[in-house]
């Protein structure tokens, strides 16, 4: 597929609304479990195909690659404008991949399957929308659109303390985003008064002249919304609860995608709109990121719930990403975005594996598990691989991102980078504790040898299908990250120059 | 105008306050309704006076409307009083506090 | 009053005469089918308002017949029709007399139409009282229900006192300015000085008390939860939407005409708005009764609307009207679901009644959830753009404090809006029997749902329309 | 010759490892071992073929660019120079032998595929360290060997201690890696490159003040991997792994990676005299410490583990006193004889029926005299018996230290000589306890695969004659290795001094051997004394670290979780929520249900409004 033919279709809209169409169809055929799950798979698969076409077919250029722009609510100056550059392309692709995984991992969903798949698809629309929108209100719309499906996914299909977790997730993120809404409106009004044109378009709003105080205030609003989502210490406490209680698909989406929307928001909106305030905030971001790296790694070490460990590890990894952003140079940013994608794949994979584990043993408790390599060797091999990737073993995906972040960050914050490197030790500590608790040792309390319940089945065909691509991705991104770094280079250098847009 | 408007205004205000006091202080439903009537009549008084003051008929028109309205209101409220009395054997408003919180 | 003026007031007359006719005929042929007839009459009135262009701009110096007024006549007529549709099954299972009920609702719609069209204080008074009197009856319409009677009593007493305030306030303003007609009344008030001006302002304060009661602004809101709880669900729907909306619809031209006088009232309105938002939110937080929660939440919404009113101007008023419609649709939907869930013996109100209902009745529960989320202002539902409009108007109009309070209360409001949703979808299913609804209810709910969604995704036409209605 | 052949060096073991990992369980049993052995053997042959490429400053070859960003360029690129070549030859050679040995040793294991996959991957990672042309690739290998070591130590994972030992090894070495990482980051920040050759070339551009901390950081990395003080606690525990693993990873190759790193970056390292001194001191201290611990160990592999630590201490000392050739020479010779010793120990353990404790062995000489002779060669090399490979290599180190002539070097030399005596003592203690006297164990011998014996003689020869590769002129040698590596030959000392030192060394060897001969030739049970227990437990460093590092770590972690996350952050946020609900309760109570009260609301509202208007009218 060539560049020209791609742009002739409204391909961005297509990729954006396809999942929504899937949602509606799922609700329509809600009485057939079979139809719903295949619909969900087909839809996410179609999105994946489209995303791959884009990824392969589009050139690596710094600016927007494709744009769509239509009037929507002229009264407020809101436009339906979508645009895709290297960064969004990458994240949309990640979304497409992980959503297929999310559908596959919930293939045997028994409770209200139609609603479940519908919500997963709706979530996909929301996430892709966030990555594509360039009108601030449109962006906000998708930003909030992600919340409701996630709320339901956690609240309805979650584990034990799900309602608490769901509401906590919802309130944390919403508190942040309402601040952002206020800031967006203020910015819009200031811009309108200055130029006479009331518009929410990113390009226009970037031209706004702001006094330092106001800029800082508005930036604070944006920042709050995004760092809660990322999440940065001390706004992270929703995450362990949400990740832990969410069903598998929910955890995958949360860790793999929702956290990324926060980072994306920072680099696409918060930084370019308020360049001076952003510069001033970098030390703060770096400090918080560093605290997060340590703090989360420490807490992860004493958790007994596997999911909780992985959840806290996400906080630590996101700390690395933010540290990279705070370093504000090409190297660190490329690393940060790379790490973001890598984290999506590895943590997504881990959550998938934990779901499989829970399916088989009914437990996620490190104290009760153990010796899985004996009964589930293939599962265990994958588990080990993803854990190693997560702890940053060179040659697997996360390392490439982490080392770039550290190399870049060292140029600006040598001490912070050196300390952050220490975080890698802690990540080894808690990750190996998980490996120890799940794979090694004698068979856990849950099963004594000879127990009939203990004869777990190793991976079935669907699970192989699910894990192999992810594992390949983990290795591929580890040894040949150029695939991703290449398209990122141009957009990042544009963003760093402060222009941010072509 | 024989009576200065200010005097009338003072009288009406006093009437209104009296009515209001009745509404606030009394616990008997009938008494409260009578208080309301007094308040409305205070309004009527002002309207008539103002009508005279401005040499217009509009105020008096409203007074007529007011009277019609009062009668309608009274008929409804008395029906309600009868009904409530039949139900709880009392016209003390304090008895009706099942809905709260 | 000429024939032309009658023709100009045709929609309201259709409503009033239709109501009378139904009342009369119903005495001879008692049937619940009269409710459907009422629906028909309301629709005819709406059509009439939409397509028959009035010959005169103002009727008797009381009512405007402009596009603004026509629009609201249509809205309230439709609301009346919807409310009647909601009542069809409800009246049947609770054995309510059809013709009386139908005619009362039509009268109420007529009164709301008149109120929205009022251009003079007399018109305002008459319109307001026309539907207030109707509500005295409607709220206590379920005679066998003690809660209904108590609610009726409370509304009656409070309403009567409020009427007293309103009448006295109007009379004071008239005394100060010498006119009931809107621009003149205020112009007169401005020109007078000293004592008379003070009297006028006192009159305003009294009117604000009455209005505060009608739309339940804090601290005049205390009746709201009790009455909502006691009244039959379809009546509550009408009460929560029409009776408040019509007042705001009337206040828009009133405040536009207010001119510089507004400065005197600004602080009072500011405080009322802020207080309503805060008090309503806080009181709604611990509620476990859906109707009472919606009552308190309506107090909050009135605070938002008042913010829009305070900002005024084209931007503020457009935001207000949009918000008003968004609020009305969502509230109608919510109460519609409630009334469709009601059975002979019970009407679900407590959250525990809704446990797990989401999977028993997925469609209606979804509508309820959508309505609640729209009220909370979650995109892509209409409530979002409504709130967005109000907040941006507040910021633009120089009320960042109110915008901030608005944002904070919107955040807190999610707690009480989500609670019923959590109960509906995230708790164990109750084994209790189904709650079947009627076809007519489904029509209303479908309309509400569609409106919530469509207006949420594409509000541009409605915004343009509202913009064109405003001067 | 096509330089791209070099790439095959690392690709072959990688392929073998990956194939075994992915499809090993589907392959027939013999195929797994065969695959692994052939891939490593092929690498060995290839090294020999490629040998000429190392001459003339070496050959550089790139497979593809791994990481490329502004200013950073890290290739999957190899640099084959004499240093790397000699190490590669040793590693592939020893690894081939150990693979063959392992095929016999692990004959009846269940999870052979995992074992050989990890072993092959280890060779791949080790070769990455040796051949990497940039620090990032080196780091990849560095962590890779760490992981493989982790996996192999915990190979018998069902015993919890094994897996824990693997974890300990991984994490402790990772602490060292942290310093290495920081050094890497810093070097990149200073020089803008991670290419090793370039760093060495441009090291002189660096601010002298910065070089010392950089060298210390590199030393930290090396300490972790090479089990030097203070990061040495993992190595004795690592003996939980299968014996071939101990032989390959924890004796011959991985643990010497630290030495290799320092040699690789020697042009940089040598710029800091403080750094060099620290390296030498750490080496000497570890040598002494480990030797003292080895005196009282009861398990055969732990004795060897401490001896390894001690010998690596010598190598560090060599680097520290500036003699790369001596270090590498000792590294190579040590690799041969230590592999020999470990593999022999493995065979002995089989002979003793899986028994580890040397006090429960004894008399094994009769069971397998051939093994005894092979083991004896290893012991002699370790103890530094004159004219063995171990003697020459160790002597070269001490000689260099002595010849430097400053006070510190003298002390180092003294420690080295004393440690040599200790080494001699514990080596013979081991020998006597295992081979002499009567069999004290109660288990019957396992079947001994011929592979377990016949891989040893070659190593024994290499160990015995390893001294020849860098024989000083004094003995009539030509210092081949020094020339090959292109470093300055050792200093020539006056003849009498040389002879005096030689005599001294011999004296210390005998001084070590004699007491061992007296005490242990005939077995007598030993009473346990606190002193012995102290040495047995490695000076109780584990307990110290537990108290000083691990317990506080757990405390902080728990504090952050319970005090920070739960109590503080969640507490504040939930507190806000609860407060709001609480206030809400008050506002809710306002709706008393009493109409009169509601009406008062009207009155108060009105009053306030009127009050305000009045206030406004007045002002």
Cβ contacts of A219 within 8 Å, gap of 6 or more? A183, A270, A273, A274, A277, A278, A281
Residue C193 has pLDDT above 80, yes or no: no
Would you state the pLDDT for residue D112?
84
CATH architecture of the domain covering B5-90: Orthogonal Bundle (1.10)
Would you state the pLDDT for residue D490?
67
Residue of chain D nearest B100, judged by CA positions = D593
Q: Which residue has the higher pLDDT, D473 or A88?
A: A88
Indicate yes or no: CB of D596 within 8 angstroms of CB of B97. Answer: no
Task: Give mean pLDDT, residues C307-323.
Answer: 92
Same domain, D434 and D339: yes
What residue numbers bound the domain in which A461 lies?
Answer: 286-502
Residue A501 has pLDDT above 70, yes or no: no
Residues of chain B with pLDDT under 70: 1
Give the closest of A303, A330, A417 to D69, CB-based. A330
Which H or E element spans position A84?
strand A78-84
How far away is chain C from the Cα of B22, in angstroms, using its nearest Cα? 11
How confident is the model over C62-114, as pLDDT tens digits? 888 888 999 999 999 999 999 999 999 998 888 888 899 999 999 999 999 99
Q: Where are the alpha helices (DSSP H) in A133-270?
A: 136-145, 147-157, 162-195, 202-205, 212-229, 238-245, 248-253, 259-265
Instruction: Please report how the helices C182-191 and C195-215 are oriented relative to each other, as an axis angle in degrees rounded to 10.
Output: 140
> How does strand A78-84 pair with strand A66-73?
antiparallel
Would you state the pLDDT for residue D498?
80
Same domain, D525 and D597: no
Give the total number of structural domains in chain A: 1
Same domain, D63 and D197: no
What residue numbers bound the domain in which D369 lies?
Answer: 134-536
Q: What is the dihedral of CA D165, D171, D177, D182, to 10 degrees?
A: -170
Q: Which residue has the higher pLDDT, A501 or C166?
A: C166
Task: Give mean pLDDT, residues C365-375.
Answer: 94
Distance CA D46, CA D7 (A): 10
Task: Give mean pLDDT, residues C46-60.
Answer: 86
Distance CA A341, CA A88 (A): 11
How far away is chain D from the Cα of B2, in angstroms, using its nearest Cα? 30
Would you state the pLDDT for residue A451?
54
Distance CA A109, CA A116 (A): 8
Residues of A with Cβ-Cβ distance to C459 under 8 angstroms: 73
- For residue A28, is it within any domain? no
Give the total number of structural domains in chain D: 3
Q: Are A406 and A421 in contact (CB under 8 A)?
A: yes
Q: Are C169 and D610 in contact (CB under 8 A)?
A: no
What residue numbers bound the domain in which C157 lies?
Answer: 3-469
How confident is the model over D213-233, as pLDDT tens digits? 999 999 999 998 888 888 888
- For residue D365, is it within any domain? yes
Mean pLDDT of chain A: 88
Task: Give mean pLDDT, residues D310-317.
Answer: 90
Q: How confident is the model at residue A2 (pLDDT cuts 50, 70, 90)?
A: very low
Mean pLDDT of chain C: 90
Would you state the pLDDT for residue A447?
56
Distances (CA, A) of C172 to A16, C165, C248, D618: 61, 10, 22, 20
DSSP states of A31-45 as a string?
T-HHHHHHHHHHHHH
Same domain, D212 and D324: yes
Cβ contacts of B90 within 8 Å, gap of 6 or more? none
- For residue A237, is it within any domain? no
Q: Is chain B adjacent to chain D, meaning 3+ CB pairs within 8 angstroms?
A: yes
Find residue B100's DSSP bridge partners.
Answer: none
- For residue A348, is it within any domain? yes
Same domain, D168 and D69: no
Indicate yes or no: CB of D21 within 8 angstroms of CB of A381. Answer: yes
Same domain, D444 and D311: yes
Indicate yes or no: CB of D581 within 8 angstroms of CB of C284. Answer: no
- For residue D541, is it within any domain? no
The tokens describing A107, both together, are 């293939």
Nearest CA to D303 out of D223, D311, D230 is that of D311
D523 phi and psi angles, rounded to 5 deg: -70, 130
D109 phi and psi angles, rounded to 5 deg: -75, 155
Indicate yes or no: CB of C178 within 8 angstroms of CB of B5. Answer: no
**Pick from D133, D161, D193: which residue ends a domain?**
D133
How confident is the model over C257-313, as pLDDT tens digits? 887 778 888 899 999 999 999 999 999 999 999 999 999 999 999 999 999 999 988
Residue D446 has pLDDT above 70, yes or no: yes
Pairs across B and C, CB distance < 8 A: 126
Distance CA C411, CA C409 (A): 5
**Pick from D108, D133, D158: which residue ends a domain?**
D133
Would you state the pLDDT for residue C433?
67
Would you state the pLDDT for residue A6?
52
Would you state the pLDDT for residue A385?
92
Residue of chain D nearest B25, judged by CA positions = D596
CB count within 10 Å of CB D437 equals 18
ipTM: 0.90
**Nearest 5°: CA angle at D278, between D276 and D282?**
120
Give the closest of D581, D599, D616 to C161, CB-based. D599
> Range with the lowest mean pLDDT among C173-182, C249-258, D363-372?
D363-372
Residue C389 has pLDDT above 60, yes or no: yes
Residues of C with Cβ-Cβ distance to D590 under 8 angstroms: 222, 283
Residue A224 has pLDDT above 90, yes or no: yes
Would you state the pLDDT for residue D27?
80
Alpha-carbon Rg for chain C, nearest whole angstrom, is: 21
Give the closest of A237, A406, A407 to D565, CB-based. A237
Chains in contact with C, counting 3 or more C-beta pairs less than 8 Å apart as contact: A, B, D
Q: Which 8-state DSSP code applies to residue D563?
A: I
Residues of D with Cβ-Cβ distance to B97 under 8 angstroms: 592-594
Indicate yes or no: CB of C384 within 8 angstroms of CB of A188. Answer: no
- For residue D490, is it within any domain? yes
How confident is the model over D259-309, as pLDDT tens digits? 999 888 888 888 888 888 999 999 999 999 999 888 888 888 888 899 999
Give the closest of B20, B32, B98 to D593, CB-based. B98
Same domain, D463 and D551: no
Q: Which residues of C touch B (CB under 8 A)?
A: 122, 125-126, 129, 133, 136-137, 140, 143, 146-147, 149-154, 156-157, 160-161, 163-165, 167-168, 170-172, 174-175, 178-180, 199, 225-226, 229-230, 289, 292
The percent helix, strand, coil of chain A (3-state, each to 5) is 75, 5, 20
How confident is the model over B86-101, as pLDDT tens digits? 888 888 888 888 888 7
Residue A153 has pLDDT above 60, yes or no: yes
> Taking the complete model, does pTM exceed 0.90, yes or no?
yes
The tokens describing C38, both together, are 């009422």
Find residue A80's DSSP bridge partners.
Answer: A70
* A440 interfaces chain D, CB cutoff of 8 Å: yes
Domain ranges in chain B are 5-90
Same domain, D211 and D300: yes
Mutation to test the D interface, candidates B18, B33, B97, B98, most D Cβ within 10 Å? B97
> How does strand A66-73 pair with strand C58-59?
unpaired
């Amino acid at each position: 597929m060539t560049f020209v033919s791609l742009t002739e279709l409204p391909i961005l809209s297509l990729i954006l609304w396809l999942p929504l169409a899937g949602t509606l169809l799922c609700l329509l055929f809600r009485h057939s479990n079979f139809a719903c799950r295949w619909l969900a798979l087909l839809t996410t698969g179609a999105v994946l195909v489209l995303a791959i076409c884009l990824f392969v077919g589009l050139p690596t250029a710094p600016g927007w690659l494709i744009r769509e722009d239509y009037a929507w609510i002229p009264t407020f100056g809101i436009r339906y404008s979508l645009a895709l550059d290297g960064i969004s392309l990458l994240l949309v692709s990640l979304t497409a991949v992980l959503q297929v995984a999310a559908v596959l991992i919930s293939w045997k969903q028994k409770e209200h399957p139609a609603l479940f798949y519908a919500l997963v698809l709706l979530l996909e629309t929301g996430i892709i929308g966030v990555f594509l929108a360039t009108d601030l209100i449109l962006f906000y719309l998708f930003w909030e659109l992600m919340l409701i499906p996630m709320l339901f996914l956690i609240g309805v299909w979650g584990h034990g303390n799900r309602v608490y977790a769901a509401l906590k997730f919802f309130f944390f993120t919403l508190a942040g985003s309402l601040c952002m809404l206020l800031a967006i409106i203020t910015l819009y009004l200031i811009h309108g008064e200055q130029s006479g044109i009331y518009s929410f378009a990113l390009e226009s709003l970037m031209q706004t002249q702001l006094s330092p105080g106001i800029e800082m205030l508005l930036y604070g609003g944006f920042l709050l919304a995004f760092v809660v989502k990322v999440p940065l210490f001390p706004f992270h406490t929703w995450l362990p609860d949400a990740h832990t209680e969410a069903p598998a698909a929910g955890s995958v989406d949360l860790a793999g995608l929702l956290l990324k929307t926060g980072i994306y928001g920072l680099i696409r909106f918060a930084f370019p709109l308020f360049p001076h305030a952003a510069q001033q905030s970098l030390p703060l971001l770096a400090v918080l990121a560093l605290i997060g790296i340590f703090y989360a790694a420490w807490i992860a070490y004493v958790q007994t719930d596997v999911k909780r460990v992985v959840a806290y590890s996400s906080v630590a990894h996101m700390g690395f990403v933010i540290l990279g952003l705070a370093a504000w140079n090409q190297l660190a940013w490329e690393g940060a975005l790379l790490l973001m994608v890598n984290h999506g794949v590895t943590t997504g994979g881990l959550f998938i594996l934990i779901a499989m584990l829970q399916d088989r043993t009914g437990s996620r408790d490190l104290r009760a598990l153990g010796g899985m390599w004996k009964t589930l060797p293939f599962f265990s091999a994958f588990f080990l691989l993803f854990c190693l990737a997560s702890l940053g073993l060179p040659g697997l995906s996360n390392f490439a991102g982490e080392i770039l972040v550290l190399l870049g960050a060292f140029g600006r914050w040598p001490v912070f980078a050196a300390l952050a490197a220490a975080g890698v030790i802690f990540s080894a500590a808690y990750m190996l504790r998980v490996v120890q608790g799940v794979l090694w040792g004698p068979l856990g309390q849950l099963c004594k040898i000879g127990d009939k319940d203990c004869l777990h089945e190793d991976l079935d065909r669907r699970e192989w299908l699910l894990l192999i691509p992810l594992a390949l991705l983990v290795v591929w991104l580890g040894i040949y990250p150029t695939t991703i770094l290449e398209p990122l280079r141009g957009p990042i250098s544009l963003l760093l120059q402060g222009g941010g847009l072509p | 105008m024989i009576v200065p408007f200010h005097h009338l205004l003072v009288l009406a205000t006093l009437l209104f306050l009296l009515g209001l006091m009745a509404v606030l202080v009394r616990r008997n439903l009938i008494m409260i309704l009578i208080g309301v009537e007094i308040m409305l009549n205070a309004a009527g008084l002002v309207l008539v006076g103002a009508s005279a003051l401005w040499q217009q008929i509009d105020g008096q028109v409203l007074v007529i409307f007011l009277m019609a309205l009062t009668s309608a209101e009274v008929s409804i409220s008395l029906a309600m009083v009868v009904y409530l009395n039949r139900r709880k054997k009392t016209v003390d408003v304090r008895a009706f506090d099942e809905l709260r919180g | 009053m000429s024939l032309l003026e009658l023709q100009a007031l045709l929609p309201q007359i259709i409503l009033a005469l239709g109501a009378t006719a139904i009342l009369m005929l119903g005495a001879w042929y008692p049937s619940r089918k009269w409710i459907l007839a009422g629906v028909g009459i309301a629709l005819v009135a709406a059509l009439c308002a939409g397509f028959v262009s009035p010959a005169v701009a103002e009727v008797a110096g009381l009512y405007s017949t402009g596009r603004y007024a026509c629009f609201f006549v249509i809205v309230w007529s439709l609301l009346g029709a919807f409310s009647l549709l909601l009542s069809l099954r409800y009246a049947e299972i609770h054995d309510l007399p059809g013709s009386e009920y139908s005619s009362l609702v039509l009268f109420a719609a007529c009164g709301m139409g008149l109120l929205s069209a009022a251009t003079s204080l007399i018109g305002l008074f008459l319109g307001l009282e026309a539907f207030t009197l109707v509500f005295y009856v409607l709220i206590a319409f379920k005679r066998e229900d003690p809660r209904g009677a108590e609610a009726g009593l409370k509304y009656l007493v409070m309403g009567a006192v409020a009427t007293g305030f309103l009448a006295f306030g109007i009379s004071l303003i008239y005394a100060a300015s010498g006119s009931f007609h809107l621009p003149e009344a205020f112009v007169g008030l401005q020109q007078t000085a000293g004592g008379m001006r003070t009297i006028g302002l006192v009159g305003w304060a009294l009117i604000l008390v009455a209005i505060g009661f009608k739309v339940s602004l804090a601290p005049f809101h205390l009746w709201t939860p009790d009455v909502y709880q006691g009244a039959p669900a379809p009546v509550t729907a009408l009460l929560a939407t029409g009776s408040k909306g019509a007042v705001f619809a009337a206040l828009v031209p009133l405040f536009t005409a207010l001119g510089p006088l507004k400065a005197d009232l600004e602080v009072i309105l500011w405080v009322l708005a802020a207080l309503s938002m805060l008090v309503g939110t806080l009181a709604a937080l611990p509620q476990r009764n859906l109707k009472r929660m919606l009552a308190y939440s309506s107090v909050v919404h009135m605070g938002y609307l008042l913010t829009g009113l305070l900002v005024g101007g084209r931007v503020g008023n457009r935001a207000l009207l949009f918000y008003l419609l968004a609020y009305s649709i969502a509230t109608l939907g919510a109460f519609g679901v409630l009334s469709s869930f009601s059975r002979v013996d019970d009407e679900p109100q407590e959250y525990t009644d809704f446990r797990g209902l989401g999977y028993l009745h997925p469609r209606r529960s979804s509508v309820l959830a959508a309505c609640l989320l729209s009220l909370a202002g979650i995109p892509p539902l209409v409530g979002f753009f409504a709130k967005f409009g109000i907040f941006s108007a507040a910021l633009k109009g120089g009320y960042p404090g109110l915008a901030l309070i608005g944002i904070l209360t919107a955040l807190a409001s999610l707690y009480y809006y989500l609670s019923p949703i959590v109960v509906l979808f995230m708790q164990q299913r109750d084994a209790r029997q189904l709650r079947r609804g009627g076809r007519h209810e489904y029509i209303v709910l479908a309309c509400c749902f569609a409106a919530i969604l469509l207006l949420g995704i594409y509000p541009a036409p409605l915004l343009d329309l509202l913009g064109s209605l405003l001067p | 010759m096509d330089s791209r052949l070099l790439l095959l060096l690392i690709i072959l073991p990688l392929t073998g490892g990956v194939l075994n990992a992915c499809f090993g369980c589907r392959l027939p049993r013999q195929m797994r071992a065969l695959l692994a052995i052939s891939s490593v053997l092929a690498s060995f042959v290839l090294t020999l073929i490629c040998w000429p490429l190392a001459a003339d400053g070496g050959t550089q070859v790139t497979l593809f660019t791994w990481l490329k960003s502004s200013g950073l360029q890290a290739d999957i690129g190899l640099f084959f120079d004499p240093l790397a070549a000699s190490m590669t030859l040793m590693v592939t050679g020893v690894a081939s032998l150990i693979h063959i040995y392992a095929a016999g040793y692990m004959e009846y294991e269940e999870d052979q595929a995992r074992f050989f996959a990890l072993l092959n991957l280890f060779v791949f990672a080790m070769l990455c360290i040796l051949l990497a042309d940039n620090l990032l690739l080196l780091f990849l290998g560095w962590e890779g060997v760490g992981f493989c070591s982790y996996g192999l130590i915990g190979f018998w994972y069902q015993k919890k201690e094994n897996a824990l030992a693997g974890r300990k090894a991984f994490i402790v070495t990772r602490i060292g890696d942290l310093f290495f990482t920081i050094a890497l980051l810093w070097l990149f920040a200073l020089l803008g490159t991670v290419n090793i050759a370039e760093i060495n070339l441009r090291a002189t551009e660096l601010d002298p003040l910065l070089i010392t901390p950089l060298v210390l950081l590199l030393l930290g990395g090396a300490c972790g991997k090479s089990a030097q003080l203070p990061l040495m606690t993992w190595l004795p525990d690592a003996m939980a792994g299968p014996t071939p693993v101990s032989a390959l990873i924890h004796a011959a190759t991985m643990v010497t990676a630290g030495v290799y790193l320092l040699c690789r970056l020697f042009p940089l390292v040598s710029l800091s005299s403080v750094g060099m001194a620290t390296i030498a001191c750490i080496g000497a201290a570890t040598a002494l410490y480990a030797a003292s611990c080895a005196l009282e160990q009861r398990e055969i592999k732990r004795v060897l583990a401490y001896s390894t630590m001690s010998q690596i201490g010598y190598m560090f000392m060599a680097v520290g006193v500036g003699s790369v050739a001596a270090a590498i020479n000792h590294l190579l010779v040590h690799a041969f004889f230590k592999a020999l010793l470990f593999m022999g120990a493995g065979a002995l353990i089989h002979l003793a029926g899986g028994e580890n404790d040397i006090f429960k062995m004894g008399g094994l000489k009769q069971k397998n005299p051939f093994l005894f002779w092979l083991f004896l060669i290893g012991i002699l090399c370790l103890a530094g018996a004159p004219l063995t490979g171990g003697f020459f290599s160790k002597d070269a180190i001490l000689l260099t230290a002595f010849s430097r002539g400053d006070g510190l070097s003298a002390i180092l030399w003294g420690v080295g000589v004393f440690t040599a005596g200790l080494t001699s003592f514990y080596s013979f203690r081991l020998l006597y306890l295992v081979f002499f006297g009567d069999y004290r164990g109660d288990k019957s011998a396992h079947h001994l695969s011929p592979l377990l014996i016949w891989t040893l003689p070659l190593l024994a020869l290499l160990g015995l004659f390893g001294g020849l590769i860098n024989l000083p002129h004094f003995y009539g040698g030509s210092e081949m290795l020094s020339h090959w590596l292109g470093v300055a030959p050792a200093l020539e000392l006056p003849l009498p001094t040389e002879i005096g030192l030689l005599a001294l060394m011999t004296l210390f060897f005998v001084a070590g051997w004699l007491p061992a001969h007296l005490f242990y030739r005939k077995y007598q049970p030993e009473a346990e004394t606190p002193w012995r227990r102290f040495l047995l437990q490695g000076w109780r460093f584990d307990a110290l670290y537990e108290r000083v590092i691990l317990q506080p770590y757990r405390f902080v972690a728990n504090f952050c979780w319970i005090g920070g996350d739960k109590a503080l952050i969640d507490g504040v946020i939930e507190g806000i929520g609860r407060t709001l609900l609480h206030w809400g309760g008050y506002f809710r109570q306002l709706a008393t249900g009493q109409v009169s009260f509601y009406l008062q609301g009207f009155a108060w509202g009105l009053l306030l409004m009127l009050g305000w208007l009045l206030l406004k009218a007045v002002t």
